[in-house]
Amino acid sequence: MLVRRTVLALIALALGGLPLALAGGGDHRCHAGPAEGHWNLPGDHGPGFARGALFVEGHDHPVLLLDAELHATHPGEGVIAGVLRSAQHPHDDPRFVVLGHWVSNDEGHGAFEAEIFRAHDGGHHRVGRMGGHFDDPPGGDPHHDPVGAFQGEWRICD
């Protein structure tokens, strides 16, 4: 329990500086902004999921859509594996691959961090990062697991 709390605190501390960590040079092809959506931790039902939207700072319409699976690797921690699609053309092939990790406490509060790769080159070239926090408290009824929410920041220089 102490190790999980320490890891959660370290990730939260690192994510506190996320916008600085994602800051790039003067590349005019960098985009960044807030991300938000649904977060459902894995459980007895199998993998969980994160689904949401990425916005460019100052705009109301999303530019990318996140669709990711969450897999537990240990109690209270796991990996994120998913894709980002164009919000204007959501049925097109994914534009980016998202790979990362998450940690949570027993109440379902936690943090995540992920790297973003180009999808069309096999995911070998990292072009960005995203991270944030989530809240997905366990439901009292084992047959009904309410879906939680996440908020975060992202930056891609492609």
Any idea how long the chain is?
158
Residue reference for tokens 């977060």? 39
User: Which stretches of the chain are DSSP H helices?
Assistant: 2-16, 18-22
Residue 51 backbone dihedrals phi, psi, to 5 degrees: -135, 130
Q: How far apart are the first and last CA of the chain?
A: 40
Model's pTM, two decimal places? 0.80
Q: Which parts of the chain sit beneath pLDDT 50?
A: 1-25, 27
Per-residue tokens: 47: 């993998």
pLDDT score at 58: 87
Nearest to 100 by CA among 128, 121, 63, 64: 128
pLDDT score at 136: 95
